[in-house]
Structure 1
Amino acid sequence: MTDPQIAILMLAIFIGLVFLGFPIAFTLMALGIAFGYYAYFDPSRMWRAFNRLDDTASWWDSTSLWLEGLYNNRIFDLFVNQTYTVISNEVLTAIPLFLFMGYVVERANIVDKLFSTLALATRNIPGSMGVAALLTCALFATATGIVGAVVTLMGLLALPQMLKSRYDNSFASGIICAGGTLGILIPPSIMLIVYAAASGVSIVRLYAAALLPGFTLVGLYLIYIFGRALINPKLAPKPSKDELPEVPLAQMLWMLVTSFLPLALLILSVLGSILFGLATPTEAASIGALGGMVLAIAYRAMTFQRLRESVYLTVRTTAMVCWLFVGSYTFSAVFSYLGGETVIAEFVQGLDLTPIQFLLIAQLIIFLLGWPLEWSEIIIIFVPIFLPLLPIFGIDPLFFGVLVALNLQTSFLTPPMAMSAYYLKGIAPPQIRLTEIFRGVLPYCAMVLIAMVLMYQFPEIVFALPDAFYGSR
């Protein structure tokens, strides 16, 4: 077999092992080292160690020299260097800080007050509780970026309230599932940080580029909720005065100041300091982590147990992402050295695709990968395969990254692998069937597709803010 054929075999074995359920990070490292040993094998390096053996050598010296000969391969140097590269990557340093901010905010009892206040503030519009739930999800998802945490917490807080107000099961479930995924797209998104580290795109420009698409998607969701409730009021009956009583304007403003404003200011201060160049993403993330702790203390929700849980979850998630990067960097370096990237590039060029056709195929592949894999695995492992092809078709990696972030919304919402639906089913009342949740999330997949079409047709939705803030491409 030729080296490029071995590279394709390496990729095929990896995909097969993933579908068999092997741990992805360690599978990447194992395959990278195993195939890298072949790729970088140099007999002269081994024999230099073996030739130092003689008949008078002790058993220990002989064993040491044999091991030195076996390990005298550049793949081990590559693995160590890639590990150091990941650990010293300044972009990735922001991940644990943003994660810590999210976990602290999640445990600070802010969300229940926020949802109650927004439900009261919007009580006179159709689908008021649904609108309040989506806005709460959007704000909370932006602060945390953790889909499972947002869907679970909002499922415990908002879903019972909507069901008590006689909301349709599917309609209420779809709102929470769709709203919980928004943190993947809206800055300060952890997914965008990971994409920036994998692609080399400026995280500052990426955050600016994702703002308008994120707001566009939220707007489409709100239009759908409002429109469905207006056309069919039985889906979302107007709450009675017993369920949501009238409150004086002064009291409502005070409730908004104490519930909505602190979290909004925290997010805006973090995001604003990045976009306006006042702080690097890592510095802004540290401000956000401190601000999250201050909020938790102000709401009298900071305890040692909650702090310990936040630290533990932060360390666990950060370690997962970092080991994925180590494995992916090692695997991709060997794959490229063997000529795998060249084979894929030549194959795609031979298809004679237009840029739009390439984008559609790439997004379809990412959409299908979203069923069995998490977003982190897709961004770290598979998106780098597409990145070398972008210059061939004249596609800006910034535009491609925002498209991927939009596309990954559907991976959490599309049956039968809609993880957002499974998160909600795990904590929903027994009368909520999984099929009802699936039926509720499907319209939001259509909203995501509409948003992607809008980006295809009007690319300035992506480029307007980064060009205005930091100059044209």
Structure 2
Amino acid sequence: MLIELIPLWMFIAICLFMLLGYPVAFTLAGVALGFAGFGIVAGVFDANLLKSFPTRLYGIMNNYTLVAVPLFVFMGTVLEKSRLAEDLLANMTKACGRLPGGLGLSVVMVGSLLAASTGIVGATVVTMGLMSLPLMLKRGYAPDFACGTICATGTLGQIIPPSIALVLLGDVLSSAYQQAQLKMGVFNPKTLSVGDLFIAAIVPGLALVVIYMLFVVFTAWFRPHIIPRVPVDTDERVPVFKLVLSLLPVLLLIGLVLGSILIGAATPTEAAGVGALGACLLALFKKQLTWQRLREVSRSTIQITAMIFMILIGASLFSLVFRGFGGEELVHHFFNQLPGGVFTAVLLVMVAMFILGFILDFIEIIFVVVPIVGPVLLAMGVDPIWLGIMIAVNLQTSFLTPPFGFALFYLRGVAPAAIPTAAIYRGVIPFVMLQLLLLMLMALWPGLVTWLPEQIGMSK
């Protein structure tokens, strides 16, 4: 009985070592090799399985889809350092100043554009925190509401394409989809792609932005002591052409990246290359692209990319050993025994990922958890596109949830010391509820996710 539960002990060991602060990539590989060595000595693990690991490494090196990762990271880092958002926030604030909660609406809109263009949650939260938090406090916004708005809009980079999380999730789910087809004994020539997830994420992402904006207006209208209405002088109003001029570069870049994918003119990897070049041209146009800054951007890109791929290599070894001990069959048997069938299985996975999001980054969850549960859920008939967007929104919610949400730590690092951490925690709770509302809506009406990919698929 203890031998059959080795996959469970492997997962527990991973969580314990991560909580102790050991590097994720080396923890994954070390635990896998440790259990594999024990299994070989005990005669319950086939050592020949480890010989297939070099083939897996070659598959990672030869994966064209993953080339998009460093390109999107580069694009986001260039835009972050080119300070495009500063002019955009200033002009948007003046344009929305006469509306209830105008500054809050500006923060949501600019944050969503920044999230869509960078795709990096930490960069968006820090940038918006430095730019908009002092302004919101100066305008009399309650500190908890201001902090909650910034954290929530910062995490939009998790779901609004082009998103690094969706690139990684699409690649992992594609492999899981193929494994599920083999398990079911069927063959479907159409495979899941990163582009499918990008298209599917548009409606939920925009819906979340609209929900945030409605919440800001509702709060400003019914709770004016939290969001005071500050009149805008005539000389502070921004001309329409100036607002369009500040919006145009970001919208043009997002349109080029997403538009080329939507019409089928480019793969996500090719679109990422267009985005990286476009970001450089925009930074050059704003005279923000110096050799020193380019070196900083390149160094940051290499560090983030190396970290992602080291985790991917460690997770690949972990999943190999996990399957060698029969872990996939154990998970499949457990899910099949659950009352309620597919609904209970999906609910359990969502709750587990939500909790794991407190202690693990989205990269670890995508590379460790999704390869374990993905093939099982897809073999049970779950739509892969719907599952991918549900996971993305779920992870986004967990990164916002106190007390361990990563977005909270990012903002805490740049927020004034006078703002207590408890205020940040209180501020994000309404936005967590709104994201859970979106999750429930997608669960009740899967068409919110699948409708747009179906329409575009039929038009091609």
Give 3-state SS (helix, strand or coil) of 2:340's partner: coil
Give 3-state SS (helix, strand or coil) of 1:176's partner: helix
Aligned to 1:95: 69
Q: Could you tell me which of 339, 361, 374 is aligned with 2:361? A: 374
Bigger drift between 7-16 and 114-123 goes to 7-16
Name the CA distance, whole Å, in 1 between partners of 2:235 and 2:401.
37
Is 1:167 paired with 2:154?
no
CA contact 1:114–1:259 (8 Å) conserved in 2: yes
**How far did 1:3 drift?**
5.2
Name the CA distance, whole Å, in 2 between partners of 1:440 and 1:320.
31
Aligned to 1:63: none
**How far did 1:421 drift?**
1.8
**1:245-280 residue CA offsets vs partner (Å, 9 max, x unmatched):** 443xxx622222321111111011101101211011
**How far did 1:339 drift?**
0.7
TM-score if structure 1 supplies the norm length? 0.89
Q: Give the number of aligned pairs.
A: 440
Name the CA distance, whole Å, in 1 between partners of 2:341 and 2:34.
37
Q: Could you tell me which of 73, 80, 85 is aligned with 1:111? A: 85
Over the aligned positions, Cα root-mean-square deviation in angstroms equals: 2.0
User: Aligned letter for 1:183?
Assistant: G
In structure 2, the CA distance between the partners of 1:264 and 1:41, relative to structure 1 (3 Å rule), is: farther
Is 1:385 paired with 2:394?
no
**1:139-185 residue CA offsets vs partner (Å, 9 max, x unmatched):** 00111111111111111111111111111111111110100000100
Is 1:141 paired with 2:115?
yes
In structure 2, the CA distance between the partners of 1:93 and 1:39, relative to structure 1 (3 Å rule), is: farther
Q: Could you tell me which of 271, 295, 309 is aligned with 1:322? A: 309
Aligned to 2:188: none
**How far did 1:38 drift?**
5.6
TM-score if structure 2 supplies the norm length? 0.91
**How far did 1:42 drift?**
12
Name the CA distance, whole Å, in 2 between partners of 1:295 and 1:391.
42
Q: Could you tell me which of 160, 176, 179 is aligned with 1:186? A: 160
Aligned to 1:52: none
Aligned to 1:207: 198
**How far did 1:292 drift?**
0.2
**How far did 1:335 drift?**
1.0
Is 1:347 paired with 2:347?
no
Q: Could you tell me which of 77, 83, 88 is aligned with 2:51? A: 77
**How far did 1:34 drift?**
3.4
User: Aligned letter for 2:348?
Assistant: I
Is 1:237 paired with 2:228?
yes
**How far did 1:73 drift?**
5.7
**How far did 1:81 drift?**
2.3
Aligned to 1:461: 448
Aligned to 1:28: 28
Aligned to 1:69: none
In structure 2, the CA distance between the partners of 1:15 and 1:426, relative to structure 1 (3 Å rule), is: closer
**1:274-297 residue CA offsets vs partner (Å, 9 max, x unmatched):** 121101111110100000000001
Name the CA distance, whole Å, in 2 between partners of 1:425 and 1:325.
29
Name the CA distance, whole Å, in 2 between partners of 1:422 and 1:150.
13
Name the CA distance, whole Å, in 2 between partners of 1:430 and 1:352.
49
Name the CA distance, whole Å, in 2 between partners of 1:334 and 1:166.
56
Matches within 5 A, 1:280-295: 280-295=267-282
User: Aligned letter for 1:98?
Assistant: F
**How far did 1:364 drift?**
0.6
CA contact 1:41–1:73 (8 Å) conserved in 2: no
Name the CA distance, whole Å, in 2 between partners of 1:128 and 1:5.
56
Give 3-state SS (helix, strand or coil) of 2:408's partner: helix
Aligned to 2:320: 333
Aligned to 1:55: none
CA contact 2:144–2:424 (8 Å) conserved in 1: yes
User: Aligned letter for 1:411?
Assistant: S
Bigger drift between 10-19 and 20-29 goes to 10-19
User: Aligned letter for 1:177?
Assistant: C
Give 3-state SS (helix, strand or coil) of 2:410's partner: helix
**How far did 1:411 drift?**
1.6
Name the CA distance, whole Å, in 2 between partners of 1:334 and 1:355.
27
CA contact 2:328–2:376 (8 Å) conserved in 1: no
CA contact 2:129–2:150 (8 Å) conserved in 1: yes
**How far did 1:11 drift?**
2.6
Give 3-state SS (helix, strand or coil) of 2:264's partner: coil
Give 3-state SS (helix, strand or coil) of 1:188's partner: coil
**How far did 1:199 drift?**
1.2
Give 3-state SS (helix, strand or coil) of 2:116's partner: helix
Name the CA distance, whole Å, in 2 between partners of 1:429 and 1:38.
51
Give 3-state SS (helix, strand or coil) of 2:310's partner: helix
Name the CA distance, whole Å, in 1 between partners of 2:100 and 2:366.
38
Aligned to 1:273: 260
In structure 2, the CA distance between the partners of 1:291 and 1:40, relative to structure 1 (3 Å rule), is: farther
CA contact 1:37–1:75 (8 Å) conserved in 2: no
Name the CA distance, whole Å, in 2 between partners of 1:305 and 1:321.
25
Bigger drift between 330-339 and 349-358 goes to 349-358
CA contact 2:335–2:341 (8 Å) conserved in 1: no
CA contact 2:49–2:320 (8 Å) conserved in 1: no
CA contact 2:196–2:453 (8 Å) conserved in 1: yes
Which sections of structure 1, spanning at least 5 residues, go unmatched? Answer: 44-71
Aligned to 1:60: none
Percent of residue pairs identical: 39
**1:219-267 residue CA offsets vs partner (Å, 9 max, x unmatched):** 111110110001122222222446x8443xxx62222232111111101
CA contact 2:120–2:163 (8 Å) conserved in 1: no
Aligned to 2:420: 433
Q: Could you tell me which of 245, 249, 258 is aligned with 1:262? A: 249
**1:15-46 residue CA offsets vs partner (Å, 9 max, x unmatched):** 22222222111111122233335657899xxx
Aligned to 1:10: 10
Name the CA distance, whole Å, in 2 between partners of 1:254 and 1:391.
49
Name the CA distance, whole Å, in 1 between partners of 2:414 and 2:141.
17
User: Aligned letter for 2:34?
Assistant: A
Bigger drift between 122-131 and 304-313 goes to 304-313
| Structure having the higher Rg | 1
Matches within 5 A, 1:116-127: 116-127=90-101
Name the CA distance, whole Å, in 2 between partners of 1:469 and 1:450.
27
